[in-house]
Amino acid sequence: MFLGVDTGGTFTDFVLFDRSGLRFHKELSTPDDPSRAIEQGIAALGLDAAELHLIHGSTVATNAILERKGVKTLLITNRGLEDLLTIGRQTRTELYALTPASRMPWLSRCDTLGLSGHLNCEGLEIEAVQPQELAGLADLIKQGDYRSVAVCQLFSFLNASHEQQIAAVLPDDLYVSLSHQVLSEYREYERSATTFLNAYVGPLVQRYLRRIRDTLRPKHLFVMHSAGGVMDAEAAGAQAVKLALSGPAGGLVAAEAVGRELGEPNLLTFDMGGTSTDVALIQGKAAKTTASSIAGMPIALPMLDIHTIGAGGGSLAWIDVAGLPQVGPESAGARPGPVCYGAGGVTPAVTDANLVLGRIPSDALLAGCMPLDRAAAVAAFEQYGKQLGLSAEEAADAVVEIAEEHMAGALRVVSVERGHNPDDFSLLCFGGAGGLHACSLAEKLGMHRVIVPLASGAFSALGMLAGRQQSDYSRSRRIAVGDGDAMAQLSAIFSELEQEAADGMAGLNLSSERAVDMRYMGQGFHLTIPFESKIASMVKAFEAEHLRSYGHILERPIEMMTVRLTAFVERPALSFPQLPACDEPVAPSAFSPVYGAGEVGHLQRSELRPGCISHGPLLIVEETSTLWLPQGWSMQLSVQGHLLLERNSEC
HEC secondary structure over 343-392 = CCCCCCEHHHHHHHHCCCCCCCEECCCEECCHHHHHHHHHHHHHCCCCCH
What domains appear along the chain, each with residue ranges and CATH number?
2-66+205-246 (3.30.420.40), 73-201 (no CATH), 470-568 (3.30.1490), 590-647 (no CATH)
| 336 upstream amide cis, omega within 30 of 0 | yes
In tens, the pLDDT along 431-474 reads: 888 999 999 999 999 999 999 998 888 888 988 988 899 999 99
The rounded radius of gyration (Å) of the Cα atoms in the chain is: 26
Are the C-beta atoms of 356 and 381 separated by less than 8 Å?
yes
Number of other CB atoms surrounding residue 281 within 10 Å: 22
Across 412-434, b (16+ Cβ under 10 Å) vs e yields bebbeeeebebeebbbbbbbbbb
Alpha helices in 18-108 (DSSP H): 34-44, 60-66, 84-87
Q: Distances in Å between the alpha carbon of 419 and those of 173, 523, 548?
A: 50, 22, 9
SS3 326: strand
* Alpha carbon distance 311, 636 (integer Å): 29
What pLDDT, on a 0 to 100 scale, did the predictor assign at position 334?
64
Amino acid residing at 513: E
Are the C-beta atoms of 242 and 301 separated by less than 8 Å?
yes
* Alpha carbon distance 106, 567 (integer Å): 33
Which residue ranges of the chain lie beneath pLDDT 70?
334, 367-369, 650-651
Q: Residue by residue, what is the 3-state secondary structure of 413-479?
A: HHCHHHCCCHHHCEEEEECCCHHHCHHHHHHHCCCCEEEECCCHHHHHHHHHHHCCEEEEEEEEEEE
Q: Distances in Å between the alpha carbon of 505 and those of 176, 184, 231, 471?
A: 20, 18, 9, 8
User: Which conformational region is residue 332 in: left (phi greater than 0), alpha (psi within -120 to 50 degrees), or beta?
Assistant: alpha
Structure-derived torsion over alpha carbons of residues 332, 336, 338, 343, reported in degrees to the nearest 10: 180
* Alpha carbon distance 406, 437 (integer Å): 12
In 502-631, the DSSP E strands lie at 511-520, 527-530, 558-568, 590-594, 598-604, 613-615, 618-621, 626-629
Q: DSSP assignment, residue 641?
A: S
